[in-house]
Every structure is written in structure tokens, then in C-alpha cells.
Amino acid sequence: MKAWVLKDIGNIKLSDVEKPMPAENEVLIRVKAAGICGSDIPRIYENGAHRMPLVPGHEFAGIVEAAGTGVSPESIGKRVAVYPKIACGKCPQCRKGKPGMCRNYDYLGSRRDGAFAEYVTAPAGNLLELPDGVGFEEAAMLEPMAVAANAVRTSLMAVNGGRMAESSAAVCGLGPIGQMTLMFLKDAGFGKIFAIGKKKSQQRKAKVLGVSDECYCDSTETDAGKWLKEVSDGGVTCFFECVGRNECVNYGIEGTAPEGCVVLVGNPYSDMMLPRDTYWKILRDQLTVRGIWNSSFCGPDDDWNYALKRMKDERFKVEDLISHRFALPDLEKGLHIMRDKTEDYCKVMLIL
């Protein structure tokens, strides 16, 4: 089969490799759509994967083509999305029923071969069957969508005793996860929603999601922290940092109201530093700073099912976030667009 193999940092090639065979309790999936995650760029070009050679790609959907021992043959032919984190099932977090926080996990696309290929194997327990009306491209966006769902659902516990209409929120960083966070905030019923970005295309997408021009800040032109504090009458209830940069964390701490919640979603680009005055504000305003990592996949009320249920809702047109589509042989074009920022993009998708 054809697969993009990361042989070393910066060295990724379309290669002929052996078609994988599903092990016990695994299935073979024919990949139909796979998204390029922002984390794939440093993994391929800067830091490398946990092991190499490796096939990257962890946001995907496809069709079950074969079943290993221990898996019902009835799974063959099913349309599925795949939770990429493979929990150990033995660590304290797994025993608590929180496999998303497993400390001894495997991971498709970073620790074992992923979906930038014609076929991939995965544990049968990591499959989520797709209902009619949800296509493969949408389903390939369930992984980032579930991260956004995790961020919003986690923050609700810190919001005014559940009084959403009296609460406000801001999202900084309007890539796919940031845009999806806006969708979930609107769905949750927040009374006022603000957005901070740096591209006109991001502003246009945010406007479609109900963020007015008055509630949007271009951080290349305005001090977003001061702006947010002013327009939100002293600060928002919840701030979602979806970038992973020092200045964006500082915007959030400055622009969040006393006893509010700063939710850290973006992977850090570098070491994160807090100025003394910013640290003081956390103390004096008794802010909650909450980290978000991955998503829950453990039952009918987990983040993945929560996201999947909303994919049929008109307010959740996640396919509108796809800016580029490439066939498998053209993957490198998409990687270079994201690495070099030669074009405006949101979600880059492989179609097989």
C-alpha cells in the first residue's frame, strides 16, 4: 500500500509499504479522509515522532475492511471514526475510568503508525460508528472537535452555577479547535461571546458563528487583553487560549473577571512565562487556570459522542472549516502550506 513515512526529522516520503494486518482485538481500516493537525507540523519538521520511521496522522475516518481475532466479523463494512489514543487500561487514571488521561498510552500517528496511508490498524474498542448523514470528512474532524468539546464542557463547572445566559466567554486563536470552541459556547448558551484572531478569514468565520464585529479583536492591531477587559465590562467569565503562546495566556489572565476561569487548550510553542503582575492577578482575582488535554472516550456521554451528536445540528457545520483538500499523493503540498504559511488555511484534509 501507499503511505507517507516519516523517516527522520524533515524527511517524509510517499512509500510502498506492507499493508498492516490487524492483531488480536484490532481492525483494519481503509482510510477515507484524514486531517492534518497543527501538531503534525512540528512533529514532522522540528521535533520528530516518538519513534521513526512512522506514518503520521491521527485525525481520520474510514471503513472497517478486516477484523482480527476477538473482533466480531459484523464490524466489517462499518463506517467509523477512530479515537487515536490507546490507553493502557492499568494505570491509576485508567482504573478511575479516565483513559483520556492515561500515562502509559500508545497513540496513532505519533507512537505507532497512523492514517496518512491507504490503510491503518486500530483497536476495535477505539471505533465510533458513524450514523447516516455524517460523512467521512466531517468524521475526520471529530478528534479536534472532541478536544473543543472537552474544553467547553470542563469549563461549565466553573461558570456562575450554570447560569450561562449571564456569563461571557472569549476564544483566543481561531484555528479549527478555536472555531469549534465558539460553536460549543454558542450551543451552551453563553450570553456574550468574544473572539480574538489575526486573520480576516478568521473574523469572517467567527461572524458566521454569531460573533459581531464589535466582539472581535485583531490581535495584530490591538492589545487584546486590555480590549477584552473594556468590552466585557471588567472581564469575561471564561477565556479559552487555543494558541499556546505567552502573550495569549496573558491576554486571558488580564481579560478574565474575578473568580473567572482561564482554560488552556493550545499546545505550547515554547517555554511559558508569566510576568509578576500577571501572576498577582491570578492570586488577587482568585482565577481558576485549567488545562485541557485530549478528550474523553469512555461511554455514551463522553466528548466524542457529545461532539458526534451535534454534527447533525445546523449550527455545527464543521465541514465549512475545511479550506484545502488534497489526494494522498499530494499530502506534502498541504504540509508545506501549513509549515510555510504560503496560503490562508483553516483545516487541510486528505481525501482518499
> What pLDDT, on a 0 to 100 scale, did the predictor assign at position 155?
86
Signed CA dihedral, 217, 218, 224, 226: sign only: negative
Sequential DSSP letters for 59-83: EEEEEEEEE-TTS-GGGTT-EEEE-
> What pLDDT, on a 0 to 100 scale, did the predictor assign at position 75?
96
**Euclidean distance between CA atoms 304 and 312, whole angstroms:** 14
Strands (E) located in the chain: 2-8, 11-16, 26-36, 59-67, 79-82, 85-86, 106-107, 119-123, 127-129, 168-172, 192-197, 216-218, 236-241, 256-264, 288-291, 322-327, 347-351
Q: Which residues of 31-48 are buried (b: 16+ CB within 10 A; e: fewer)?
A: bbbbbbbbebbebbbeeb
Largest CA distance in the chain: 61
> What pLDDT, on a 0 to 100 scale, did the predictor assign at position 162?
62
Using the predicted structure, report yes or no on whether residue 222 has a pLDDT greater than 80: yes
Q: Percent of the chain, pLDDT > 70?
A: 99
Using the predicted structure, report yes or no on whether residue 140 has a pLDDT greater than 70: yes
> What pLDDT, on a 0 to 100 scale, did the predictor assign at position 98?
87
- Report which residue type is found at 243: V
Cβ-based neighbour number of residue 312 at 10 Å: 12
> What pLDDT, on a 0 to 100 scale, did the predictor assign at position 158?
67
Cβ-based neighbour number of residue 183 at 10 Å: 23
Q: What is the pLDDT of residues 224-255, one digit of tens each?
A: 999 999 999 999 999 999 999 999 999 999 99
Using the predicted structure, report yes or no on whether residue 161 has a pLDDT greater than 70: no
Ordered by where they begin, the domains of the chain are 2-140+317-351 (3.90.180.10), 146-291 (3.40.50.720)
If one compares 164 and 92, the residue with the highest pLDDT of the two is 92
Q: Which residues pair with 112 in a beta bridge?
A: 108
Q: What is the pLDDT of residues 78-129, one digit of tens each?
A: 999 999 999 999 999 999 988 888 989 999 999 999 999 999 999 999 999 9
Sequential DSSP letters for 173-208: --SHHHHHHHHHHHHHT-SEEEEEES-HHHHHHHHH
Which residue is associated with the grid cell 478569514?
A: 201
User: For the whole model, what pTM was predicted?
Assistant: 0.95
Using the predicted structure, report yes or no on whether residue 315 has a pLDDT greater than 90: no
> What pLDDT, on a 0 to 100 scale, did the predictor assign at position 299?
86
**Euclidean distance between CA atoms 97 and 50, whole angstroms:** 26
Using the predicted structure, report yes or no on whether residue 160 has a pLDDT greater than 70: no
Using the predicted structure, report yes or no on whether residue 45 has a pLDDT greater than 80: yes
> What pLDDT, on a 0 to 100 scale, did the predictor assign at position 30?
98
What are residue 284's phi and psi, to 5 degrees? -65, -35
Using alpha carbons only, give the angle 60, 293, 144 rounded to the nearest 5 degrees.
30
- Report which residue type is found at 82: V
What are residue 81's phi and psi, to 5 degrees? -105, 160
Q: Can you read off the three cell numbers belonging to residue 222?
A: 490591538
With cut-offs at 50, 70 and 90, classify the pLDDT of residue 166. confident
Q: Which residues pair with 81 in a beta bridge?
A: 61, 128
Q: Percent of the chain, pLDDT > 90?
A: 86
Closest CA to 172 of 222, 126, 107: 222
> What pLDDT, on a 0 to 100 scale, did the predictor assign at position 103?
87
- Residue 59: alpha-carbon gap to chain centroid: 9
With cut-offs at 50, 70 and 90, classify the pLDDT of residue 8. very high
Residues across the chain: 352
Using the predicted structure, report yes or no on whether residue 318 has a pLDDT greater than 70: yes
**CA within 13 Å, CB half, 221:** 8
Mean pLDDT of 192-220: 92
Mean pLDDT of 312-327: 90
- Residue 93: alpha-carbon gap to chain centroid: 21
> What pLDDT, on a 0 to 100 scale, did the predictor assign at position 288?
93
Check: CB of residue 179 under 8 Å from CB of residue 322. no
Using the predicted structure, report yes or no on whether residue 165 has a pLDDT greater than 80: no
Q: Which residues of 337-351 are buried (b: 16+ CB within 10 A; e: fewer)?
A: bbbeeeeebbbbbbb
> What pLDDT, on a 0 to 100 scale, did the predictor assign at position 346?
95
